[in-house]
Structure 1
Amino acid sequence: MTLLLTPPAVPIAFPRLGALLRHAAPRVLEGMILPVAVFYAGLVFFGLYGALAVAVVWVYGGVVWRLVRRRPVPGTMLLAAGTITVRAVLAGVTGSPILFFLQPCLGVFCASMGFLLTATLRRPLVQRVATDLVPIPDHLLEHPRMRRFFVGQSVLWGCAQLVNAALSLWLLFSQTTETYLVVRTSAVAVLLSGTALISVLSFRRCLRALQR
């Protein structure tokens, strides 16, 4: 006679909020704040073409820095280097910075649609992202409470990124490049930080409920 046993509850070690912030801060600085600051400085001192050149040099400089230190170069960084080169060439040929910033805005819009459209699937996009960060046992992923959590998070992140894309596009087509850079960077940092904090707190509460 075969007995079907329910897998025992396995505690999941979730990092403390302070540790998560220390882990995320350098990536936010490198990925969001410094590129904008470098482009803005180039725009102020050298004009549009100088800013485009500085932005390209910045990205490729990051690749060279990792190679010199014999650290692996992430595929995402190589992709970013190729993408920014194409964007800079298009913006330089047309003389319009809009083409330089349009592709990231459209990418954010596509990400928002990805979160929203996969919300009710068996494995939504937000779940794939979460399980890359925190290992969650399969039996917990199938729990109805956890599935409801990921549906809610899909809607949360989908709406946040939709607001991000809408705000970015409005600023891009209605404001100066300088205003776009400053306002968008500040607003998006606040928006995504708040969304991430809500997600972390909700996840911790969900895990505590499952492990009772």
Structure 2
Amino acid sequence: MEEAATTPARTRGAHEQRTGGHHGFEPPRLTSMLRHALPRFVEGVIAPVAVFYAAFALLGLNGGLVAAVAWVYGGIAWRYARGHGVSAMLLLAAVGVTARAVLAAATHSAVIYFLQPTLGTLTVAVTFLASVPLGRPLAQKVATDMVPMPEAFLRHARVRRFFLRISLLWSLVFFVNAVISLWMLFHESIGTFLWVRTGLVAALGAAAVAVSVWGFRRCLLHVNGDAAPATLG
């Protein structure tokens, strides 16, 4: 029992020795992070939209609303029945879909159903932007929610600059996303809005993710390089 209890401490000590005990950090492999995050993203974000549109095309607005709500709450019930945890993304999807469905049903408008998340996207863009002058970059909060990072690493000046710049990048991404969505929502059919807008937004998001990952890897190389001399000393 004593040996087992000291193993984590030894592992942390070895990691600190390799990195100088200060700024070094080795994140999980990108593939393992994607395997963890992608199913939750599909379940909580992509699937409700796809289910809504399929039912909307076959059954009309009310059918689409019922199907989207049933999908989300059915997923929650299925997870509880199997003893699995419910992701925060799925819970947020449940709250969002319910509110949107109630308003859309009350107004009998599919546009209202999609207008709310678009306005939410604009709010997120403003939040990312506002976090920069406050010195509390939202990109850092999102990243540390996904991958816990040592405080010493996060305090490094280069890491701070990286997250400030990435917060600006994602503010721009969400703002462009909102502008595209609003224009298409009021100038195109719901079908065109869903598929064309989804493709454009996905491409934009993929490019931003690629830039973020590339920038983070460059940042890691520099920070871990700064920590290496401490190991030699």
TM-score normalised over the length of structure 2: 0.81
Q: Does 1:134 align with 2:147?
A: yes
SS at match of 1:211: helix
Deviation at residue 169 of structure 1 after TM alignment: 1.1
Unaligned runs of 5+ in 1: 1-6
CA offset at residue 52 of structure 1? Answer: 1.0
1:33 matches 2:46: yes
Deviations 1:143-165 (A, max 9, x none): 22111111110111100011111
Identity, in percent, stands at: 48
How far does residue 176 in structure 1 lie from its aligned partner after superposition? 0.8
Q: CA separation in 1, counterparts of 2:98 and 2:27?
A: 39
**1:125-153 Cα distance to aligned partner (Å, 9 max, x none):** 11111122223222222222111111110
Relative distance call for 1:75 and 1:21 in structure 2 (3 A) is closer
**Greater Cα shift, 8-17 or 45-54:** 8-17
Q: Hey, what does 2:34 align to over in structure 1? A: 21
User: Partner letter of residue 162 of structure 1?
Assistant: F
Tell me the TM-score normalised to structure 1 length.
0.89
Distance 1:121 1:77 in 2: 30
Amino acid at match of 2:76: V
User: Any idea what the Cα deviations from partners look like across 1:79-121, whole Å, max 9, x if unmatched?
Assistant: 4323322321221222111111111111111111111111133
- 1:30-82 deviation line (CA, Å, top 9, x unaligned): 23332222111101111111111111111111111111111223455344323
Q: CA deviation at 1:210?
A: 0.8
AA aligned to 1:16 is: R
2:56 to 21, 27, 43: 43
Query: Cα 1:126–1:101, aligned 2, differ >3 Å: closer, same or farther?
Result: same
**What amino acid is aligned across from residue 107 of structure 2 in structure 1?**
T
Question: Residue in 1 aligned with 2:83?
Answer: 70
Give the match for residue 4 of structure 2.
none
Structure with greater Cα Rg: 2
Match of 1:59 in 2: 72
For the 8 Å contact 2:76–2:86, the answer to whether it is kept is yes
Name whichever structure is richer in helix by fraction.
2
Q: 1:182 to 1:154 in 2, by over 3 A?
A: same
Pick from 201, 205, 227 the counterpart of residue 188 of structure 1: 201
Matched-pair contact (CA < 8 Å) for 2:24–2:223: no
Partner amino acid, structure 2, of 1:201: W
Q: Unpaired segments of 5 or more residues in structure 2?
A: 1-19, 226-233
CA offsets, 1:156-201, max 9 Å, x none? 1100011111111111111111111111221221111221121111
Shift, 1:27, TM fit = 2.6
Instruction: Measure, in 2, the Cα distance between the counterparts of 1:199 and 1:68.
Output: 37
Alignment partners' CA distance in 1, 2:200 and 2:112? 21
> Match for residue 201 of structure 1?
214
Whose relative contact order is higher, 1 or 2, with alpha carbons under 8 Å and at least 6 apart? 2
Q: Give, in angstroms, the shift of residue 10 of structure 1.
A: 5.2
